[in-house]
Amino acid sequence: MKVGIIGSGGREHALCQSIKNSNKIDKIYCFPGNAGTSNIAENIKINPEDFENIKNFIIENEIDLIIVGPEKPLVDGIVDYLEKFKIKVFGPNKLASQLEGSKIFTKKICEKFNIPTAKFGIFKNKNDAKKFLDQNNFPTVIKADNLASGKGVYICNTRSEAEIAIDEIFNGKFGKADELLIEEFLNGEEMSYFTVHDGKCFKSFNTAQDHKRVLEGDKGKNTGGMGAYSPSRLINDELEKKIINKIIKPTLQGLSEFGTNYKGFLYTGLMIVDNEPYLIEYNVRMGDPECQTILPRLRTDISDIFLACCEEKLNDVNIKWSSQKSLCIVVCSNGYPDKYKKYIEIKNLDTINLKENDYIFHAGTERKDDKLYSVGGRVLNFISISDSFAKAKENIIKNLNTLNWSEGFYRRDIGYKVIK
């Protein structure tokens, strides 16, 4: 069987490696992939936004199954487009992808089905939004409605910070904005709950907690994610039941009232307050770096899961997990998430002696003339699974010390809540 993966990050390299481990797969293509995927797959230089050329390549090369990694092509409707040509695709359609594409779409479903989430108001202009601040408590959360790649969310401690956020969003900092959200600030601990769906049924795809801020102590700017660990320290059977019954099932009911269902990974971003889950956001894909963190614990052939989802047979698949702990530390280029240099050589990667439960997944890397270069803000992911988070981290730090890449940095405190 031939499989195609759309995307070029650490998540896609981890997906590519898991698919490679399946004995059913003869060939993998990545659109466009990175230096890591080029070692195990064929990278195809077609932009994930160029649906037509991707479709032509899939048909010409008789690719059997397509996995879509990132949200942008999903929200833009790549699944609907490829399915028109009878191509098998794992991922949600354009309408279901509104769960990530529009925070207001999701909030409306929450309102209708009483899904626990922060109290919120939707505002169409600066004046109404600012007037609402008169009766508001601080901190408060202000969000742009459109896809803003993790940006577009402001936690405001004062009224003047809130006014700046409102002005920036309506002035188009994150693209054209017709509406914005003002939300109650939820004080708890975040966790991510993943599920995999075939349109008819869904199964848990494990849990993780990530570190979104760039500096140690969870301080500084928001990033795509500086590291993660799996499983979450917060998960228990009672909490899992609440997440499924109070949040995920009613959301699927909401989608069915819009005349659609859900196929693909669903990432439920939660705030846990006294063992009660509150929905913060949905993402219609795996998390990055959560995917790199979770997949090494998977003990079921991932291609069986993808195929079952495309054939509405997920019910027949038993998804098994290792009980070991997984930790991931992301190596970034100096300057990230602001300006950083590109095309800096990474010299020592091949000298790292990876042990059986250690993994390195590439993100922003490119190979040129046999040399490895960084081309993105998040560059490499170092993962290890072990009997304890502390041991996993020790293994990672050993590998990071061998890398010794002076042009990059990483957070040394990933997992501090689970490592004493």
Residue 58 near residue 28, CB atoms below 8 Å: no
Angle subtended by helix axes 249-257 and 103-113, to nearest 10: 110
Q: Cβ of residue 281: shortest distance to ligand AMP, in angstroms?
A: 4
Query: Does 288 sit near ligand GLY (CB under 6 A)?
Result: yes
N- to C-terminal Cα separation, the chain: 46
Q: Cβ of residue 227: shortest distance to ligand GLY, in angstroms?
A: 10
Cβ distance to ligand GLY smaller for residue 183 or 290: 290
Q: Cβ of residue 285: shortest distance to ligand GLY, in angstroms?
A: 8
In 146-275, where do the E strands start and end?
A: 153-156, 180-184, 189-198, 202-210, 213-215, 219-222, 227-230, 263-273
Q: Which stretch binds ligand GLY (CB under 6 A): 236-244, 258-266, 280-288, 296-304?
A: 280-288
Q: Which stretch binds ligand GLY (CB under 6 A): 102-110, 121-129, 285-293, 322-330?
A: 285-293
Strands 27-32 and 202-210, sheet pairing: unpaired
- Distance, C-alpha 101 to centroid of its chain: 13
Q: Which of 114, 30, 14 is nearest to 66 (CA)?
A: 30
- Distance, C-alpha 256 to centroid of its chain: 24
Query: Does 277 sit near ligand GLY (CB under 6 A)?
Result: no
Cβ distance to ligand AMP smaller for residue 270 or 383: 270
Residue 370 sits at the vertex; the CA angle it makes with 365 and 374, to the nearest 5 degrees, is 20
Q: Looking at 216, 281, 407, 413, which residue binds ligand AMP (CB under 6 A)?
A: 281
Query: Does 287 sit near ligand GLY (CB under 6 A)?
Result: yes
Residue 112 sits at the vertex; the CA angle it makes with 120 and 210, to the nearest 5 degrees, is 55
Q: Looking at 280, 346, 360, 400, which residue binds ligand AMP (CB under 6 A)?
A: 280
Beta bridge partners of residue 29, listed in sequence order: 4, 42
Query: Does 210 sit near ligand GLY (CB under 6 A)?
Result: yes
Query: Does 266 sit near ligand AMP (CB under 6 A)?
Result: no
Q: Looking at 183, 198, 288, 366, which residue binds ligand AMP (CB under 6 A)?
A: 183
What is the radius of gyration, based on Cα positions, of the chain?
A: 21
Q: Cβ of residue 372: shortest distance to ligand AMP, in angstroms?
A: 32
Cβ distance to ligand GLY smaller for residue 284 or 307: 284
The DSSP letter of residue 185 is P
Q: What is the DSSP string of 5-20?
A: EEE-SHHHHHHHHHHH
Closest residue to ligand GLY using C-beta atoms = 225
Q: Which residues bind ligand GLY (CB under 6 A)?
A: 150, 210, 224-225, 283, 287-288, 290
List interacting residues with ligand AMP (CB under 6 A). 118, 141, 150, 153, 183, 185-186, 190, 212, 269, 280-281
